[in-house]
Amino acid sequence: MKEKWLERAERIRLSDYVYDLPDERVAKYPLAERDQSKLLVYNQRQISHLQFTSLPGQLPAETLLVFNDTKVIPARAYFRKPTGATIELLLLHPEFPSRIINEAMLVKGGCVWACMIGNKKRWKAQDTLETQVLIDGERIRLVADYADYENNLVRLQWDSEHVFLDIVRALGEIPLPPYLHRKSEASDTLAYQTVYARQDGAVAAPTAGLHFTEPVLKALEQNTIHKTHLTLHVGAGTFQPIKVDTVTEHRMHSEQVVFTRQTIQDLLDHTGCIVPVGTTSMRSLESLYWFGVKLFRKETTVFMIEKLYPYALLEEELPSAEQALEAILSWMQAQGVEEIVGETEIFIFPGYRFQLCKGLVTNFHQPGSTLLLLIAALIGESWRDLYAEALEHGYRFLSYGDSSLLWAKEA
């Protein structure tokens, strides 16, 4: 017999989560001053229209803001064949010699990455591509061939002691979201990066963080707002459209998350009001809770959160946020580790119960996207009124657009 939670989930239709977004409302470029964006504040069906610099005053004292400190790498590279054909590689995630992105960035000599391949029909399985990159005056030969043609695994090799991050920085360009319908420009190198980005490895920016500036961060501190960081290297899957009307059939992309012991302790100290900056931070935090559940229930010590795992436990008594976080810290203590690396494909849609997050700082998302479903899970059907009002008041949408502060409907 099919479980009740799954029957309820299968009644959710993508067609109920679309709205009309005119192309002219999509922000093609950022504002000159990133903290001058608009800020829509939503709390218990009440909507306020402010400027992003007002954010510190909208958060209760002792709130813990959680930032994703991933850094976008120039992950789009081009190779030209002797025939003149151009082959485009978009790096997705490393496969060898390490699948841990922070480690993969420091590999020397060669590596294998899963890629999206543009113009693949012109790049046959047996063909080798070659180009040169210039690093500190040194000209380096870079060779690309297939490690696995069917699965788009590309082997990259270079003849120098430079690490892979050096190669990528010299070769690639920043991959902008496809819905901007333009090529990246020199200005995007800084604009499409948060001011607190530290960990190289993302294909896309955690765009809710693009609004923050040093003055805003300082104002948060003066208002007794705390902050901590996690790392989720955003992949191209974040732009993957849902192509099925029954949303549970959508194949969620898996993303790598990294938490330090200090971050988990920060969360444990502030469980009363945790507010993630961006949907990537929210998915990471909720995934962390479910890892704690797995440890608490002695199910496994592997940090992998499957797409629908949380929904199967809706009717069961669950550990509190504190118990889940304490279970993780105890396990880390026993293992003698200072950070944990996990994978998550968690799918947050209406019916989900938030376990750590009380609110969210985020931009305005595409119609019919997994991110819009997350917003609907957080604030309920009011998302329609909120998006309609944002459109009416001239808000700019998507990655380079304006911002919002949303409080959970249960808060």
pLDDT in tens, 282-318: 999 999 999 999 999 999 999 999 999 999 998 889 9
Express as a percent the part of the chain with pLDDT over 90: 86
pLDDT for 410: 65
Residues 6 or more apart in contact with residue 357 via CB below 8 angstroms: 274, 275, 276, 282, 285, 286, 378, 408
pLDDT for 5: 78
What is the reported pTM? 0.94
- pLDDT for 149 beyond 80: yes
402 vs 393: CA distance, rounded Å: 11
Give the residue-averaged pLDDT of 337-357: 96
Longest dimension (CA), the chain: 67
Give the residue-averaged pLDDT of 61-82: 95
Give the residue-averaged pLDDT of 387-401: 97
Spatial CA neighbour of 109 closest among 163, 153, 170:
163
Give the residue-averaged pLDDT of 41-63: 96
The dihedral built from the CA positions of residue 221, 224, 230 and 232, taken in this order, carries a sign that is: negative
Spatial CA neighbour of 115 closest among 81, 80, 155, 143:
155
CA angle 195, 197, 203 (to 5 degrees): 120
- pLDDT for 411 beyond 60: no
Mean of pLDDT over the chain: 94
Give the residue-averaged pLDDT of 39-44: 96
Residues 6 or more apart in contact with residue 274 via CB below 8 angstroms: 63, 64, 66, 267, 285, 356, 357, 358
In DSSP terms, which residues pair with 303 in a beta bridge? none
Tell me how crowded residue 409 is: count the other CB atoms within 10 A of its CB: 16
The residue count for the chain? 411
pLDDT for 9: 81
**Element spanning 158, H or E:** strand 153-158
Spatial CA neighbour of 164 closest among 102, 117, 257:
102
pLDDT for 275: 98
**Contact yes or no for 26/401 (Cβ under 8 A):** yes
Helix, coil or strand: residue 316: coil
Sequence-separated contacts (24+) of 183-188 with Cβ below 8 Å: 184/76, 187/29
Give the residue-averaged pLDDT of 265-274: 96
31 vs 401: CA distance, rounded Å: 8
Residue 247 φ then ψ, to 5°: -65, -25
- pLDDT for 171 beyond 50: yes
237 vs 252: CA distance, rounded Å: 8
Confidence label for 239 from pLDDT (cuts 50, 70 and 90): low
- pLDDT for 1 beyond 60: no
Give the residue-averaged pLDDT of 259-279: 97
pLDDT for 127: 94
Dihedral (C-alpha) 223, 192, 102, 227: value to the nearest 10 degrees? 10
